[in-house]
Amino acid sequence: MKRILLLIAILAGLGFMWSCEKAQENPVLDTTKLVPAELKSPIAGGNYVLLQINMDKLLFKVEWDAANYILPGIVAPRYTIELDVDGNNFAAPATIATVDTLVFELTVDRLNNAMNVLGLEPGKQAAVNMRIRSFIAGGAESLTKFSNVITFTVTPFKFKVRPIWLLGNGTDAGWNNRGAIEMEHVEAATYAKVTNLKTGSGVFFKFISVPGQWAPQWGTDANPVQIVDGVRIGNLSYRPTESIPDPPAIPVPPVAGSYRIVADTIGLKYRVEPVPTKLFVVGDAIGAPVEMISTAPGKFYTTIKLDGRENLTLQFSDGVSARATRFGSESRYGHYMSRLVEGENSKVVMPAKAGTFRVEVNLATQTYRIVAE
């Protein structure tokens, strides 16, 4: 009998040791004990006036202490620097950067871009909040933690670049180099414009750099146009001075209509793609589909009344049928301004605020903007 009791005791002890080893192999993380990052700089209450002339200069270093995820051997957290309008409680933050380090050198241009994403008016001082979001890549949402908040004021600038102009007998400007159509800046050395194009034999267009002058200009070369999913893609040929022969003009599409024309003056490529002449807003933020008002080719707006509920969304659509093409935000935090991307799952999350908002779309720059009225 004693031998049986001893055997039972030994087996129980082995079971206890095995369970302890398993617990050590698969420890459970108590998320309530996680220590978030602590934001150290910039200085709270600082005031920054941004100027385009300084856009490439360092404004300040964003620095923080590391978040502590308790368990040894867990992968290092990543950090996202977020910015939002003071008083908005980070309902619509702009992402400045996501990094693996504990310091980020913030340039004037980077902060100015974040201010633009938040829809803040250039030349007008605004109070903003900054925080650090820490997370484990691929981990659960419960592992996301937020640092303390630092508040400071910023006066953004309106980015200005030297434009280029569109002309040709395929456009409404004709070959009048003093009445050419100004293109809109998209990014880097890329410009775009939505306009109506004519068609027919001997109908073309070009780009010029200075109104009233034929040089510098951009035409094309002898290579054939590539057509991908209805988009015409070709090479640009640059004429820097009058002493260089004119490059060939760019042929128009075979069908007249409304087109988005894009010129990359560094990559020396152009694109011509059809765009809708009507645009609708759909989604639970609007109820029934609403046709937007066109103010110019490729530019639309409408007004929406919100009741303050969270996570109301909308999309922009070229029709109301199930087969219509829909567009949404490039960013899940794009409450106020962002790039448009095509896709059924791409949506614009509206501000969780009651009031009337003006929603604007620019198909040339492929952006939208939401402004409280």
Give the pLDDT score at 32: 66
Give the pLDDT score at 361: 96
Token pair recorded at residue 263:
């010129």
Q: What is the DSSP letter of 323?
A: T
Give the pLDDT score at 247: 97
Q: What does 266-300 look like in DSSP terms, one character per residue?
A: TTTEEEEEE--S--EEEETTTEEEEEPEEEETTEE
Question: What is the distance between the alpha carbons of residues 111 and 42, in angstroms, rounded to a whole number?
Answer: 12
Provide the whole-model pTM.
0.72
Spatial neighbors of 265 by CB under 8 A, at least 6 apart, are 164, 189, 190, 191, 207, 218, 236, 238
Report, as an integer, the average pLDDT of 14-28: 45
Chain CA centroid to CA 157, Å: 18
Q: Are 226 and 234 in contact (CB under 8 A)?
A: yes
Q: What is the DSSP letter of 15?
A: H
Token pair recorded at residue 73:
């051997």
Give the pLDDT score at 350: 87
Give the pLDDT score at 50: 96
Collapse the DSSP code of 42 into the 3-class scheme (helix H, G, I; strand E, B; otherwise coil) and give the result. Answer: coil
Give the pLDDT score at 353: 82
pLDDT digits (tens, 9 = 90+) for 332-341: 666 677 789 9
- Please tell me which residue, 343 or 361, carries the higher pLDDT value: 361
Q: Are 121 and 96 in contact (CB under 8 A)?
A: no
Give the pLDDT score at 38: 97
Give the pLDDT score at 41: 96
Question: What is the distance between the alpha carbons of residues 219 and 314, in angstroms, rounded to a whole number?
Answer: 40
b/e map 25-48, b = 16+ CB within 10 Å: eeeebeeeebebbebbebeeeeeb
pLDDT-derived band at 76, boundaries 50, 70, 90: confident
Report, as an integer, the average pLDDT of 339-365: 90
Specify the pairing of strand 269-274 against strand 231-235: antiparallel
Q: What angle do CA 18, 20, 21 make, to 5 degrees?
A: 65
Q: Is the pLDDT of residue 9 over 70?
A: no
Report, as an integer, the average pLDDT of 301-307: 94
Q: Is the pLDDT of residue 23 over 50?
A: no
Report, as an integer, the average pLDDT of 54-64: 96
pLDDT-derived band at 197, boundaries 50, 70, 90: very high
Tell me what the pLDDT averaged over the chain comes to. 88
Give the pLDDT score at 334: 66
Please state whether the peptide bond connecting residue 251 to the residue before it is cis, i.e. omega within 30 degrees of 0: no
Give the pLDDT score at 7: 41
Token pair recorded at residue 184:
């809109």
Q: Is the pLDDT of residue 21 over 70?
A: no
Give the pLDDT score at 142: 76
pLDDT digits (tens, 9 = 90+) for 144-189: 999 999 999 999 998 888 899 999 999 999 999 999 999 999 988 9
Q: Are 71 and 29 in contact (CB under 8 A)?
A: yes
